[in-house]
Structure 1
Amino acid sequence: MTNHAHDHGANASARQLGIALALTGSFLVVEVVYGFISGSLALLSDAGHMLTDAAALALSLFAIRMGGRAADKKRTFGYRRAEILAAALNAGALLAVGIYILVEAYQRLREPVAVQTTPMLVVAVLGFIVNLISARLLVSGSGDSLNVRSAYLEVLGDLLGSVAVIVGAIAIRLTGLLWIDPLLGALIGLWVIPRTWALLKSSVNVLMEGVPEGLDLDHLRAELAGLPGVSEVHDLHVWSVTSGQHNLTAHLVCESPPDDLLQRVQALAQKYDLPHSTVQIEAPGLHDAGHEYHDDEDEHKHAEWHP
């Protein structure tokens, strides 16, 4: 059964990403040019973020389009994991930018560079407006998709960077202290890196088919084992295909399974937000004896649910 809620959410995210990409791409050239003209590291770091923003938004939009493609003979889950690949690539790129900013800030703290505060201030204000609009567009979808969250973090980092550049430009103009600029650049990098690292870990967890964040596998196993007639649970696997789409497979050993056992398992899977569940019911001793499984209804039953 097609997940229409997911399709509508993907379409909405695609529209939001498309508008944000148009805004970011339009302003990108202006910020990069004036970043070099002004000589401001804070503005250059913000321009670097804007560049990665445009790439990240384009990649995220492409991933959503790819994820909407139907499953085929080679990819039975479809192309939904393209969103996670995009999120991981975006996070990796942003992490690299954050590290570069810290290194460059260290160099400029040792050897201050003159900064033109007027173009720095004007471009930062324009960048703030663009990033504010983009962030508001993406915030609603950032809680449901790692892909959209990665793009949102990119834009949010830029938004805060624009604020820092505005404050820095005013402070440098009033005090003449050139170390303010690299200090602000370093603060932007320090804000971005831990959040990017957390996103990268979440993306890699999905790619490694790890247990979804927040799901207690021991509790799930205990509840499955506590169902009527179940004496053992083995080969329990829980993983995500993409954001919010979790799967469960398990083998349940039962002497005399009650008629409603599969319905009970289905309800338990729904409780743990596992809408796609595949469960095999086995006779005692079948797993321990290492028998080869086949479709003999006297030995086991198999069920799969697609809500």
Structure 2
Amino acid sequence: MNDPHGHPHPHAHDGHAHGGRIARWRHTARHLVTPHSHESADKTDAALESSAKGMRALWVSLGVLGATALMQVVVVILSGSVALLGDTVHNAADALTALPLAVAFVLGRRAATRRFTYGYGRAEDVAGIVIVLTIAASAVFAGWTAVDRLLDPRPISYLPAVAAAAVVGFIGNEWVARYRIRVGREIGSAALVADGLHARTDGFTSLAVLLGAGGAAIGWRLADPIVGLLITAAIVFVLRDAAREVFRRVMDAVDPALVDAAESALLAVPGVRAVGELRLRWIGHRLRAEVAVVVDGELTVRQAHRVAVAAEHALLHAVPKLTAALVHADPAATPGEADPHAALDHHAPAHAPAHAPAHAPVV
């Protein structure tokens, strides 16, 4: 078993066949083209850099959306448009979601402790829950205001200003959405991506305000509250998508393609005969892996450790956002030999393992 702390990665594997030498030559050539290091300091620097990018995205988007919402507040006070009010509330709520995410990114930089042995990356998931609750609250407020105005219609003034505010709201939200989604996917932050999707829908709801202004311009007084209800429905759809994304992250869901990539990388490592248990989990916007690989039972401890280190190294190359992997080497079973894990059977959970060692040996 190898610990995922920084250390040199040996590439010499005694007794491997011609195919193993070719694989090592190919890997060495790849290093000459794209040199890198997986030392602990480098991993920490990458983690801090991703958090810094997330913080920058949050503050920039907070400034843009905050300025947009303030401009819309002025127009709401002058015009009395309930559709624009709903859009403004949504924009303001979207801007304020930067605050819990900022706290999460700051906490995520803290080192692991004896109590929080995985660090504080999970704070991002808590921030995601706060974002979902904020979206839900904005939906309730916008819907209540629209229904109230539907029951008690009122005239709207300053229609050109309402239309202009709607266009500005769309431009601001779409720019922020693109920025947040791009940075969120780049650093692997589900909360930031969910926040970007939230901003994108805000942009389209801003355009919907134009419909309300157009209806009011031709004398249809119910156009404004009806558009307000449509905006509420759009917020609910965003709420559904954001809640699903955050729920999956809280439940340790990962993209199956990442599991496939990890599995393929492990099976290509010289000395790995099969892949047993394979688990991936997000901790904030970083991934960790736990895996058991099957190796030749006649290998020495040092030789098995070399295979485990090579397996960890292959995972760090193959799985984006992976910062640590714990690899356990199991000896291949021989006829008549007792299962070395039999003593653990009574500790096993009732359900089947998530990833059974059902792969054909790779020599």
Fold conserved between structures, TM > 0.5: yes
Please list the CA deviations of residues 20-74 of structure 1 after superposition, one character each: whole Å capped at 9, or x if unmatched: 2233334434434543553322111111112212210222223222222333333
Q: Among the aligned pairs, what percent are the same residue? A: 23
Offset of residue 238 of structure 1: 1.9
The answer to whether residue 84 in structure 2 is matched with residue 43 in structure 1 is yes
Distance 1:275 1:62, change over 3 A: closer
CA distance in 1, matches of 2:128, 2:72: 25
Distance 1:99 1:233, change over 3 A: same
Match in the other structure for 2:343: 289
Offset of residue 270 of structure 1: 4.0
Please list the CA deviations of residues 48-107 of structure 1 after superposition, one character each: whole Å capped at 9, or x if unmatched: 112212210222223222222333333233322222221221123213423553455455
Q: Which runs of 5+ in 1 are unaligned?
A: 293-307
Match in the other structure for 1:17: 58
Match in the other structure for 1:304: none
Match in the other structure for 2:136: 95
CA distance in 2, matches of 1:68, 1:232: 33
Q: Is the 8 A contact 1:124 1:163 kept in 2?
A: yes
Distance 1:194 1:215, change over 3 A: farther
Match in the other structure for 1:302: none
**How do residues 63-212 of structure 1 correspond to structure 2 at under 5 angstroms?**
63-102=104-143, 104-105=145-146, 108-109=149-150, 112-118=153-159, 119-135=161-177, 137-144=179-186, 145-173=189-217, 175-208=218-251, 210-212=252-254
CA distance in 2, matches of 1:257, 1:184: 72
Distance 1:288 1:252, change over 3 A: farther
Offset of residue 212 of structure 1: 1.0
Aligned-residue CA RMSD in angstroms? Answer: 3.5
The answer to whether residue 303 in structure 2 is matched with residue 261 in structure 1 is no
Counterpart AA for 2:87 = D
CA distance in 1, matches of 2:267, 2:245: 29
Greater Rg, structure 1 or structure 2?
A: 2
CA distance in 1, matches of 2:273, 2:114: 35
Q: Is the 8 A contact 2:131 2:195 kept in 1?
A: yes
CA distance in 1, matches of 2:54, 2:264: 37
Query: What TM-score results when the alignment is normalised by the length of structure 2?
Result: 0.66
CA distance in 1, matches of 2:298, 2:123: 40
The answer to whether residue 304 in structure 2 is matched with residue 280 in structure 1 is no
Q: Is the 8 A contact 2:267 2:275 kept in 1?
A: yes
The answer to whether residue 101 in structure 2 is matched with residue 54 in structure 1 is no
Distance 1:290 1:99, change over 3 A: same
Counterpart AA for 1:202 = E
Distance 1:125 1:253, change over 3 A: closer
More contact order relative to length (CA 8 Å, sep ≥ 6) = 2
Distance 1:132 1:291, change over 3 A: closer
Three-state SS of the structure 1 residue aligned to 2:342 is coil
CA distance in 2, matches of 1:84, 1:126: 31
Offset of residue 136 of structure 1: 5.1
CA distance in 1, matches of 2:319, 2:175: 36
Three-state SS of the structure 2 residue aligned to 1:142 is helix
Distance 1:231 1:159, change over 3 A: closer
Counterpart AA for 1:242 = G
Query: What TM-score results when the alignment is normalised by the length of structure 1?
Result: 0.76
CA distance in 2, matches of 1:289, 1:222: 30
Distance 1:219 1:132, change over 3 A: closer
